[in-house]
A and B are shown apart, each in its own frame.
Chain A
Amino acid sequence: MIECCPYPPYEGNEKRGIMEEALETGRPILETRCITKQFPRVLANDEISILLNKGEILSILGENGAGKSTLMNILYGLYRPTSGEIILKGKEISFSSPRDAIRAGLGMVHQHFMLVETLTVTENIILGSEPSKGGVIDYQLAKKQVLEISELYGLHVDPDEKIENLSVGLQQRVEILKALYRHAEILILDEPTAVLTPQEVEELFRVIRALRDKGVSIIIITHKLEEVMAISERVYILRRGKLSGEGDIKDLTKEELANMMVGRDVVLRVDKKGNGKKKEAVFFIEDLSVLKKGGNALLDSVKLDVSPGEIVGIAGVDGNGQSELSQAVMGLVKIDKGSIRLNGKEISTLSTRERIDEGISFVPSDRQRDGLVLEMSISDNIIIGRHDRKPFVRSAGRINHREIRKYAEKLAVDFDIRTPSVSVSAASLSGGNQQKVILAREFSRSPVFLLLNQPTRGLDVGAIEYIHSRIMEMKQKGAAILLVSLELEEIFALSDRILVIYEGQIVRELKTNETTDYEVGLYMTGGRKKGSLNDGK
């Protein structure tokens, strides 16, 4: 058996002094020693040793699939490590469930909140550890305790408000309070900024610093470099299940971090050269409205146009009408008013099938639900939608498997889909490769108009970079592209113009090079009411 050294050396790192130093000062509160987690097919964690000091903000940085979540789930008692030990306050521990972890003073705020929408803040916070008198919940006491904690840490939120009436930022705050209520000394935040606007992120950072000052130790799991630089004091970088680096933030640059995370130099900016002068728009939406059953507008008189070779970004907080917009364009939802035109032809009355034939390609936001038939093969997924066209079908509706295979194999090479064979099911692919299958299908149709809804959602930096370059290629080829994204960074990296959507309305049009993410963030949150659209032009 190979002995795992307490602090394994990793390539190119000479800053191991930190750990020894920390040990000497006696500050470490949590430590993992050589944690290894072997899943049936992947080694998710390979001898990972990290150390968390009391009252510090530590980041764990890594791409998706680097093993961050596995490590945190081990700490939180959701998984058991294959080997290795966890030391909490100098004692070796072993959690068999999150309950143990909570009892030991660990709290976790998941990326997807675990809140009951119809209950109040107080009810959510005490859920599972209710203060009670003889089996009856003591709400007065509970409310008092919640107020005390929020006072102590400066996390203000109305204890009687229902969760469904709170903004995402406040919901997250409730999650943090939930952990603190259970006396968490160590708080693990999983991708805490994923759903927040820039303003909410700043507020969160303020809260995190306040918590640190009160002695709470914080671990932030993230794949965003900016966040690491902005908030944390120390960082560990994971790559493919291994620790690929660590250090003090003040000694590191963004480029160094990116390098350790991806293992090569990343181009963080896409080359955004347009093809010169703007052409006449080919795709128009006018006065488009979609109403909810009750009568509320999900989309309210949306108006936009896209020119060939242009990328128009739709920025907005999730749930402000983005999905209705793409469904309306694809004919998947009934529109109540308005027109959609492509190449001068009204398409809002056509079926989905006919719209595809008119030259619309669509990359849906939920690739597993709307983009792929996971149980079917990669090749079937590549030709679906054209499965009844020549050459994929012979006369009398017989499928030509040979042609399909040939075509799919060619596209698998063109789009760098990594798979042993195109006849395996799409479910067996990683997220990035699944997205490439969708891209292969949609881009190979040579669309006139391309609708992208969160094309890189949940993907790692490498895949994002690749997909962005393919999108730019489609732009060069002259496709008119409408990009819906929740990632402001993506909107800024790709689009020529930015439209901000808020509560179903396009509230602002901005030129990418004349605005800032801060300004866009303001409009996204309804910070400024609908101004004159012409201001942005």
Chain B
Amino acid sequence: MTGNKTGTKVRSEREHMKKALDLISVLLLAAGAVYYLGGSFSGLAALSSGAALYLFNIYYFQGKEKTLSAVKKYLSRLIVPLIGIAAAVVSGAVIMLLTGYDPIESYTALFYGGFVKNWYVAVLNATPLIFTGLSIAFAFKAGLFNIGAEGQYYIGAMAGAWLGFKLELPPLIAIILVYAAGSFLASLWNFIPALLKVKTGAHEVITTMMFAHIARYLSPIFIRAFGGDPATSTHPYVTWELPESSWLLSFKSFIPDANYRLHTGILIAVAAAFFVSYVLENTKTGFEIKAVGFNKEAARVQGISVGKNIFIAMMFAGALAGMAGITQVLGLDHKLFENLQAGYGWNGISVALLASNNPVGVIFTSLLWGALDAGGQYMARTTHTPNSIVEIIKGIMLFLIVAKYIYIYAARLIKKKKGGGSV
């Protein structure tokens, strides 16, 4: 009896210890992420020590096998994307050689520019992409293609600017309200497409794309109503500046050597990614959305409402894409530009596909996309290699990762050859 009791005690002590260590590793990871995304490379050290502690924890408390299987689990998720990236880089080099550019010089500039020198630009680029990528990935989970995220982005941006002007409230409250009301308005932009989809089966690709078109060209009108005046040279295609109370906190306020433009919208984006992941994995709604997305018929037979869940998914996707616009206005620009070429909605499709619709994966693919853009500009400035090579590499990368069947086919071919040869 007593032996048994001490056994339980020891076990519970070990459990407490494990929990404490787990907490420390999560805190290290979080702090590391904040600093790294704030442009400080000391964050990388914290990130890697957090990851090491996490693995050590598994090793110490659950043994070698569990550690290996955990490592395997993460690696197996990364293997296909990594092969795709590597192959795209190699193809890019071949193209550069064929067109007379130096691949080593160009790649050095590209990666140095994207991941080191102008890392903050990469983070700035990634911030809206994470939101639009999440929007598209979430809709994909319900079997929907929210191709009109671009439109919801503009609605979010306009709503953010408008509310920013109108709400004269203390900073934090203003920001929360702008996010809440702005994303609500952006989700309303998907209301008609969602309703049409549920009631008549009208395809969301067509309806959301048309709505995107409308939203984009509403923005110049909006800008004129709020300060944009093409007659003057000071405010040609841009609204007034928002009051500072609705600006997002900049990293500079707590990391002194951070770039002054870098804002904490990226942290909201990362939090949103984890939130979406949680919704999908751990809630009733997420469960139903996935069931409907994978197999409508089976879901219907089990009494799950297909229409309701498609509706929820469309509205939520609209809200997420809207947040991209809000974050861009409140965090980076503090005003609304008539910038119809940014294409965050369209690029969101790429990052979502690249992450195979995994919400947390979207963070990484958005950062990669952002870094390639930032590095591409740096490369074009410092070497003679044109920026378009980056777009080519992105295209190849996307193609290789999305076309998973290439790998399956290649594996089969290899096996066939081996099988045939050994007889």
A371 close to B298 (CB less than 8 A) = yes
B423 close to A373 (CB less than 8 A) = no
Chain A residues near B231: list those with CB within 8 A. Answer: none
Known contacts A352-B300, A384-B302; A399 and B282 CB within 8 A of each other: yes
A39-63 to B contact mask, C-beta < 8 Å, 1/0: 0100000000000000000000000
Nearest residue in B to A399 (C-beta to C-beta)? B282
A372 close to B303 (CB less than 8 A) = no
Scoring B286, B287, B294, B299 by chain A CB atoms within 10 A of each residue's CB, the highest score goes to B287
Known contacts A384-B291, A388-B284, A401-B282; A364 and B419 CB within 8 A of each other: no
B294 close to A376 (CB less than 8 A) = yes
Chain A residues near B302: list those with CB within 8 A. Answer: 352, 356, 384-385
What separation, in Å, do the CA atoms of A372 and B288 have in the docked complex?
13
Answer whether residue A112 sits at the interface, using C-beta atoms and an 8 A cutoff: no
A54-89 to B contact mask, C-beta < 8 Å, 1/0: 000000000000000000000000001011000000
A374 close to B415 (CB less than 8 A) = no
A370 close to B297 (CB less than 8 A) = yes
A369 close to B287 (CB less than 8 A) = no
Interface residue from A40, A80, A373, A398 paired with B298 (Cβ < 8 Å): A373
Nearest chain A CB to B394's CB is how many angstroms away? 28
Chain B residues near A398: list those with CB within 8 A. Answer: 282-284
B287-319 to A contact mask, C-beta < 8 Å, 1/0: 110110011011111111100000000000000
Answer whether residue A167 sits at the interface, using C-beta atoms and an 8 A cutoff: no
Answer whether residue B42 sits at the interface, using C-beta atoms and an 8 A cutoff: no
Chain B residues near A165: list those with CB within 8 A. Answer: none
A83 close to B297 (CB less than 8 A) = no
B303 close to A385 (CB less than 8 A) = yes
What separation, in Å, do the CA atoms of A369 and B290 have in the docked complex?
15
Nearest residue in B to A388 (C-beta to C-beta)? B284
Nearest chain B CB to A199's CB is how many angstroms away? 34
Answer whether residue B285 sits at the interface, using C-beta atoms and an 8 A cutoff: yes
Nearest residue in B to A366 (C-beta to C-beta)? B297
B423 close to A351 (CB less than 8 A) = no
A376 close to B284 (CB less than 8 A) = no
Interface range for B: 20 to 34
A393 close to B284 (CB less than 8 A) = yes
B301 close to A364 (CB less than 8 A) = yes
Chain B residues near A364: list those with CB within 8 A. Answer: 301
Scoring B285, B286, B299, B303 by chain A CB atoms within 10 A of each residue's CB, the highest score goes to B303
A399-428 to B contact mask, C-beta < 8 Å, 1/0: 101000000000000000000000000000
Answer whether residue A375 sits at the interface, using C-beta atoms and an 8 A cutoff: yes
B295 close to A387 (CB less than 8 A) = no
Scoring B288, B294, B302 by chain A CB atoms within 10 A of each residue's CB, the highest score goes to B302
Answer whether residue A279 sits at the interface, using C-beta atoms and an 8 A cutoff: no
Nearest residue in B to A331 (C-beta to C-beta)? B303
Answer whether residue A529 sits at the interface, using C-beta atoms and an 8 A cutoff: no
Nearest chain A CB to B283's CB is how many angstroms away? 5
B394-423 to A contact mask, C-beta < 8 Å, 1/0: 000000000000000000000100011001
Once A and B bind, how many residue pairs between them come within 8 Å at the CB atom? Answer: 76
Answer whether residue A152 sits at the interface, using C-beta atoms and an 8 A cutoff: no
A356 close to B294 (CB less than 8 A) = no
Chain A residues near B283: list those with CB within 8 A. Answer: 397-399
Scoring B284, B301, B304 by chain A CB atoms within 10 A of each residue's CB, the highest score goes to B301
A375-398 to B contact mask, C-beta < 8 Å, 1/0: 110001000110110000100011
Nearest residue in A to B281 (C-beta to C-beta)? A399
Chain A residues near B281: list those with CB within 8 A. Answer: 399
Nearest residue in A to B416 (C-beta to C-beta)? A80
Chain B residues near A515: list those with CB within 8 A. Answer: none
Answer whether residue A253 sits at the interface, using C-beta atoms and an 8 A cutoff: no
Answer whether residue A38 sits at the interface, using C-beta atoms and an 8 A cutoff: yes
What separation, in Å, do the CA atoms of A397 and B285 have in the docked complex?
7
Chain A residues near B285: list those with CB within 8 A. Answer: 397
Chain A residues near B291: list those with CB within 8 A. Answer: 373, 376, 380, 384
Answer whether residue A332 sits at the interface, using C-beta atoms and an 8 A cutoff: yes
A356 close to B303 (CB less than 8 A) = yes
Chain A residues near B290: list those with CB within 8 A. Answer: 373, 376
A83 close to B423 (CB less than 8 A) = yes
What separation, in Å, do the CA atoms of A375 and B283 have in the docked complex?
18
A362 close to B301 (CB less than 8 A) = yes
Known contacts A38-B419, A376-B290, A384-B291; A397 and B298 CB within 8 A of each other: no
A387 close to B301 (CB less than 8 A) = no
Interface residue from B287, B294, B295, B300 paired with A332 (Cβ < 8 Å): B300
Please report which residues of chain A, range 304-356, place their CB below 8 angstroms from some CB of chain B when the two chains form the complex.
Answer: 330, 332, 351-356
Nearest chain B CB to A396's CB is how many angstroms away? 8
Interface residue from A40, A385, A399 paired with B304 (Cβ < 8 Å): A385
B288 close to A332 (CB less than 8 A) = no
What separation, in Å, do the CA atoms of A398 and B283 have in the docked complex?
4
Nearest residue in A to B411 (C-beta to C-beta)? A40
Chain B residues near A393: list those with CB within 8 A. Answer: 284
Nearest chain B CB to A435's CB is how many angstroms away? 14
Scoring A83, A332, A373, A380 by chain B CB atoms within 10 A of each residue's CB, the highest score goes to A373
What separation, in Å, do the CA atoms of A38 and B415 have in the docked complex?
11
Nearest residue in A to B301 (C-beta to C-beta)? A370
Known contacts A332-B300, A351-B303, A384-B302; A375 and B282 CB within 8 A of each other: no
What separation, in Å, do the CA atoms of A355 and B302 have in the docked complex?
10
A374 close to B287 (CB less than 8 A) = no
Nearest residue in A to B292 (C-beta to C-beta)? A373
Nearest residue in A to B419 (C-beta to C-beta)? A82
Known contacts A40-B415, A82-B419; A371 and B282 CB within 8 A of each other: no
Chain B residues near A388: list those with CB within 8 A. Answer: 284, 288
Nearest chain B CB to A92's CB is how many angstroms away? 14
Nearest chain B CB to A491's CB is how many angstroms away? 23
B282 close to A369 (CB less than 8 A) = no
Chain B residues near A355: list those with CB within 8 A. Answer: 303
Interface residue from B284, B301, B420 paired with A371 (Cβ < 8 Å): B301
Chain B residues near A369: list those with CB within 8 A. Answer: 295, 297-298
Nearest chain B CB to A169's CB is how many angstroms away? 30
What separation, in Å, do the CA atoms of A373 and B295 have in the docked complex?
6
Nearest chain B CB to A179's CB is how many angstroms away? 29
Nearest residue in A to B287 (C-beta to C-beta)? A387
B34-45 to A contact mask, C-beta < 8 Å, 1/0: 000000000000
What separation, in Å, do the CA atoms of A532 and B280 have in the docked complex?
56
Chain B residues near A399: list those with CB within 8 A. Answer: 281-284, 286-287
Please report which residues of chain B, range 337-385, place their CB below 8 angstroms from some CB of chain A when the two chains form the complex.
Answer: none
What separation, in Å, do the CA atoms of A102 and B287 have in the docked complex?
50
What separation, in Å, do the CA atoms of A42 and B295 have in the docked complex?
28
What separation, in Å, do the CA atoms of A38 and B301 have in the docked complex?
38
Chain B residues near A387: list those with CB within 8 A. Answer: 284, 287-288
Known contacts A369-B295, A401-B282; A353 and B303 CB within 8 A of each other: yes
Nearest chain A CB to B302's CB is how many angstroms away? 4
A374 close to B294 (CB less than 8 A) = yes
Known contacts A369-B295, A376-B294, A401-B282; A330 and B301 CB within 8 A of each other: yes
Q: Which residues of B come within 8 Å of A, CB atoms?
A: 281-288, 290-291, 294-295, 297-305, 415, 419-420, 423
23 A-B residue pairs with Cβ-Cβ distance under 8 Å, sorted by A, are: A80-B420, A351-B303, A353-B303, A353-B305, A355-B303, A369-B298, A370-B301, A372-B295, A373-B299, A380-B287, A380-B291, A384-B287, A384-B298, A384-B302, A385-B304, A387-B284, A388-B284, A393-B284, A397-B283, A398-B282, A399-B282, A399-B286, A401-B282
Q: Closest 6 interchain pairs by CB?
A: A353-B303, A385-B302, A397-B284, A352-B303, A375-B294, A373-B295
Known: A372-B298, A373-B291. 8 other contacts (CB 8 A): A82-B419, A369-B297, A373-B298, A376-B294, A384-B302, A384-B304, A388-B288, A393-B284
